[in-house]
Amino acid sequence: MFAYEGPVRFEDNVHLYAFALSLQNKIMERKQIEAVLRTSEAKYRAVIDDQTELICRFAPDGTLSFVNQAWCRYFGQTETDLIGRTIQSFLPKQSRLFCLMSLPG
């Protein structure tokens, strides 16, 4: 519950207004930075997806976390189908042990 403390002084309003302007500027700056980041990410994604080479990213245990469109086309599966599988599952059985020994960790 708030108690009435009398009329609001002009000095209080100036500080509140300055704070609001500062906050508004920070929000606008953040939105601009986010827009630049989205544009940059889209350009990066386009470069990676337009490659004809198979490009993937995987965790130390070999679990796929990213595949490009060339990878999807080569294996005839969607990105959703491939993410979460292990890189070893795409190798011939005789190569899997070597691959596991080559991974860090």
The CATH number assigned to the domain holding 75 equals 3.30.450.20
| Mean pLDDT score, 26-31 | 95
Residue 4 lies in a domain: no
SS3 content of the chain, % helix, strand, coil (to 5): 65, 10, 30
What is the distance between the alpha carbons of residues 9 and 13, in angstroms, rounded to a whole number? 7
Q: How many domains is the chain partitioned into structurally?
A: 2
Residue 39 lies in a domain: yes
> What are the pLDDT digits (tens) for 75-87?
999 999 999 998 8
What mean pLDDT, rounded, does the chain reach? 84
Let me know if 71 is exposed, middle or buried by CB neighbors in 10 A (0-12, 13-18, 19+).
Answer: buried
Q: Which domain holds residue 72?
A: 53-105
Is residue 43 located within the same domain as residue 18?
yes
Distance of CA 88 to the CA centre of its chain: 25
Residue 95 lies in a domain: yes
Residue 29 lies in a domain: yes
Residue 1 lies in a domain: no
> What are the pLDDT digits (tens) for 38-68?
999 999 888 888 888 999 998 888 899 999 9
